[in-house]
Structures are given as C-alpha cells and as structure tokens.
Chain A
Amino acid sequence: NAGVTQTPKFQVLKTGQSMTLQCAQDMNHNSMYWYRQDPGMGLRLIYYSASEGTTDKGEVPNGYNVSRLNKREFSLRLESAAPSQTSVYFCASRNREANGELFFGEGSRLTVL
C-alpha cells in the first residue's frame, strides 16, 4: 500500500524560483495537510484541507499557496522561493473515523539558495 506519496523527495531552488510539491493519498481520506519541519521547531502547519473543495490557513501560511485538486491530491506551491523556506515538508492525510490518526508521507527536503 502506497499510503501518502510526496514528490519530489529532494529539490534545490534558487531564490525567486517557483515550484510545486505534490501529494497524493490512496486511503480515501477526507482531510489533508502540509507541514514544514525545521530544527528545533517541530512540525508547523502551513495549510490544511478538511475536505475536497476547502482549504484553510495553518500557523505559517505566508509565502505558500495550496490546491486541493481532488479527494486524492493536495499540492503546495512556492511562488517565489526564499532561503527561509528551506525546510523538510511533510504531507499528511486523515480520515474522520476512529482516533483521527494522521498518516504522513516520507517528506520532501527543499533547499533554497
């Protein structure tokens, strides 16, 4: 089972370049999330999508845009990358049942020079 798949796994950008991180889940989950993780900062919520067709800002949304393309896919776009966006990005999905566990992808390591 693939679970949550993120692409690319590694990316190096120059300041001002744009890129999109892709995330897809095959668990038929309703909610999807993008987090970033920096040393000593834990995971910080960028944007989330409670269900298909909705998106909401998290703790650190500035400099990012998201698209919930369909139930499976949730993309994160950096329009003009900055060195402060160097981080590890995690996508997650969650169903509404049981204990509402978040399932994570393996992460995407982004470096902005």
Chain B
Amino acid sequence: RKEVEQDPGPFNVPEGATVAFNCTYSNSASQSFFWYRQDCRKEPKLLMSVYSSGNEDGRFTAQLNRASQYISLLIRDSKLSDSATYLCVVNGKGSGTYKYIFGTGTRLKVLA
C-alpha cells in the first residue's frame, strides 16, 4: 500500500460546481499536510497547507481528519482555470520530518 493515496480521477465537472477530493495517508505520526497543484508538464506549486482546525483560502477549503487519516480539498464555484492535477503531500515525524511524500494526484477537468 502506498503511504499516500488519492483517487486519480478524472473528475469532470461543469463550471460553477463544487468538487471535493480526499487523500488518505498511512503514517499516523505524520505532522504536516499540503495540497499542491500541477498543470500539465509543469512543476507542482503549493495550493495550500492543511491545518488541524481546517482552513480556507477563497474558494478552497482544506480539512484534516487525523482519526481516519485523511485530508480533503473542497473547491467551490469551479472555474475553467481550476483544471489541473491536485496532489496531496504528507511528511513524517522524527527522522522522517523532512521526508515529503506525494500522492498520485487527482485530475480535475472543469467544463464550460
């Protein structure tokens, strides 16, 4: 089993829709969680960090559920420009603190 797992999609949604992605992780000692966005053939870029209490950045909301070991990303009012691959990232604790593991990514296509 991979340390970090995501549904690869693609998720095809119409403009204006709300879409949610989940990401599960296996290391219960993980301390830091992130969502990255990757456009086709480009490098990944940070979308948002995920905090224990949940956090929001405009149309994007991230949640952490430590008990069930998953993080989620909710995108409201989807735009065409949101079409991309969304990658969740988890790091470890102790000696693994600096070890950042990516999920396989979830592809989102927002349709006009």
Interface residues, chain A, CB within 8 Å of chain B?
A: 31, 33, 35, 40-45, 48, 50, 56, 58-59, 90, 94, 99-102, 104-107
Residue from A31, A41, A100 whose CB has the most chain B CB atoms within 10 Å: A100
Cβ-defined partner of A104 (8 Å) among B43, B97, B103: B43
Interface residue ranges, B against A (CB under 8 Å): 3, 6, 8, 32, 34, 36, 42-46, 49, 87, 89, 91, 97-105
B104 and A40 contact, CB distance less than 8 A: yes
CB-nearest residue of chain B relative to A33? B100
Q: Could you give 7 example pairs across A and B, Cβ below 8 Å?
A: A42-B87, A42-B105, A90-B44, A99-B46, A99-B49, A102-B34, A102-B36
A43-B87, A100-B32 in contact; A106/B43 too (CB < 8 A)? yes
Q: How far is the CB of B42 from chain A (nearest CB, A)?
A: 8
